[in-house]
Amino acid sequence: MKRDLVCQRARWLVALGLCVFGMSCHLGSHVYDDIWLGPWHAALDGASRLEVRARDGEVLLVVDDTEAIADLLTRVEVEPDKRLTCRCGGDYVLAFDTGGDAPVFVTLHHMRHLRLREWPADGIFTPGGLAAFTDWFVIHGFERFELMRLRAARSGPSRAWHRILRHWPVEGRATIAAVDSATLSDEAGALSFAQTLADEMGPVEMSAAAMRALGRSHPHLWQPRALEAPAWAAFAVVDGPTFEAALEAVEDEPIALLGAARVAVDTELLAQLSPESRDRWWVTLAETVQRIGTTRDQRTLTYTMRHEGGPRARAFADSWEER
């Protein structure tokens, strides 16, 4: 009987605990709604126009779509129990036209928190809320916030990594932002990274993106930099036919062909093509380097073409050297 009494009391305590927990969640939800969500939607619901402005007032993006703006408002999620007040005026201003005499202004600070006049303090993004927020802007053709989010998420020298990220399509940026130099310097790590990137983007698009990144990240050929490591690692899973398909995709992009010339010299991918294709691409790459490369670039490519190219490539190299 004593045992039954103990069990009964235990059940009462469990039930009471669940009741208290449920009430605290319910009250917490109401507090969150009252402090954050309520003022947010009261101030901004029904907005028909959004302008993203830089600190100097330059308008960077305009969205005239009530439904799209409503979607943005539902994506914002801040930490319910964290708040701060930044002393700066904000990096960017979101100006919402709600039909009043003046826009409602929301300022974005350090890609971490938002400020709305009706809030008691700055609202700090939850990780998921920030990702959803920046994703909305990517959908509407404005990628700057997403790049800033990825850069902020990285440890180490973020400025250099930001330079390589901006040369890649949206697909693949998260994978690149998450990798570090130590992983890329390890053969197995680089191979795993490249395969993940190829699965996300497709091997041809990945190769084309890597060519563009290598061409843009530095104006001269054959001067390795750590920030180019993701682009170089991408070619660990690329074969000759894939490389040729990527070359065809960027044939009208001189900067990408400049990057492709680096890859052709430092790998054996062109050697996997038919003699005719190999000869054609050596000449195409040489013509690009002749237009926008340096004298050192030309000498290096001339040497490689003379030893690895076909008749056309060798003839081009000879005539090039004579000039």
- Tens-level pLDDT at each residue, the chain (323 residues): 444 544 455 455 444 444 444 444 443 445 567 788 889 999 999 999 999 999 889 999 999 999 999 999 999 998 887 767 777 788 899 999 999 999 999 999 888 889 999 998 888 888 888 889 999 999 999 988 988 887 666 544 445 556 667 778 878 888 887 777 667 777 788 888 899 999 999 999 999 999 988 887 654 444 445 557 888 889 989 999 999 999 999 999 998 998 899 888 888 899 899 989 988 998 899 888 888 877 777 777 877 887 777 777 778 777 766 55
Question: What are the distances in angstroms from CA 260 to CA 93, 213, 223?
Answer: 40, 10, 14
CA distance 302 to 282: 10
Place of tokens 């990285």: 154
Long-range contacts from 175-184, C-beta under 8 angstroms, 24+ separation: 175/200, 176/230, 177/150, 177/151, 177/153, 178/153, 178/154, 179/230, 180/155, 180/156, 181/156, 181/226, 181/229, 184/229, 184/230, 184/233
State the amino acid at position 279 in one-letter form: D
3-state DSSP assignment of residue 226 = helix
Q: Which two tokens stand for residue 82?
A: 């964290």
Long-range contacts from 178-182, C-beta under 8 angstroms, 24+ separation: 178/153, 178/154, 179/230, 180/155, 180/156, 181/156, 181/226, 181/229
State the pairing for strand pair 113-116/78-84.
unpaired
- Under 8 Å between Cβ of 283 and 275: no
pTM flag (> 0.95): no
Place of tokens 């993940």: 196
What sign does the CA torsion over 172, 173, 178, 181 have?
positive
Question: Assign residue 114 a region: left if phi > 0, alpha if psi is -120 to 50, beta otherwise?
Answer: beta
What sections of the chain are H helices per DSSP?
A: 2-32, 38-44, 66-75, 127-139, 144-153, 158-165, 173-178, 181-185, 187-201, 203-217, 229-234, 240-249, 254-266, 275-292, 295-308, 311-322
3-state DSSP assignment of residue 144 = helix
**Distant-in-sequence, close-in-space partners of 290: CB < 8 Å, separation ≥ 6:** 298, 320
CA distance 213 to 211: 5
CATH 3.30.1490-classified regions of the chain: 31-139
Question: Assign residue 151 a region: left if phi > 0, alpha if psi is -120 to 50, beta otherwise?
Answer: alpha
CATH class as words, domain 31-139: alpha beta
